[in-house]
């Protein structure tokens, strides 16, 4: 059989939200109206991850390699979202997690998350 190997996940971006389907059948989804924080995770030798979180700290992990102009355009609808800040964090040579956007009315605290 020829062709590209099956990717480990698919990301769908709509006007309603973002959904990531994993090869094992699991799904992460978050409505845009529920997003209260956007984080960027960088790690040497790995894809940059965009983490979208809701008030309960639940959310959707979106690899940069799975994004397109639609995803970035939709982020701009978040109040006062700074696309330049997102780009700077994603292009960072330092490993780490950066909060690039927080809702003007965020919850008191979101949990620190562990990333694999």
Q: What is the pLDDT of residues 66-109, one digit of tens each?
A: 888 999 999 999 999 999 999 999 998 889 999 999 998 765 55
Could you read off the pLDDT of 29-79 as tens digits, one per residue? Answer: 999 999 999 999 999 889 999 999 999 999 999 999 988 899 999 999 999
Q: Return d(Cα 30, Cα 35) in angstroms, integer.
A: 7
CA dist., res. 73 & res. 76, Å (int): 5
- What span, in angstroms and rounded, lies between the C-alpha atoms of 65 and 10? 10
Task: Tell me what pLDDT residue 58 has.
Answer: 93
The residue with tokens 């996940």 is: 9
């Amino acid at each position: 059989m020829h062709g590209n190997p099956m990717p480990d996940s698919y990301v769908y971006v709509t006007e309603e939200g973002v959904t990531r389907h994993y090869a094992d059948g699991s799904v992460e989804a978050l409505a845009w109206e529920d997003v209260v924080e956007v984080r960027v995770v960088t790690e040497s030798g790995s894809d940059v991850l965009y983490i979208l979180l809701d008030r309960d700290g639940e959310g959707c992990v979106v690899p940069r390699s799975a994004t397109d102009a639609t995803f970035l355009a939709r982020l701009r609808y978040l109040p006062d979202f700074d696309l330049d800040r997102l780009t700077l964090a994603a292009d960072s040579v330092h490993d780490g997690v950066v909060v690039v956007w927080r809702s003007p009315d965020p919850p008191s605290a979101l949990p620190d998350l562990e990333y694999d």
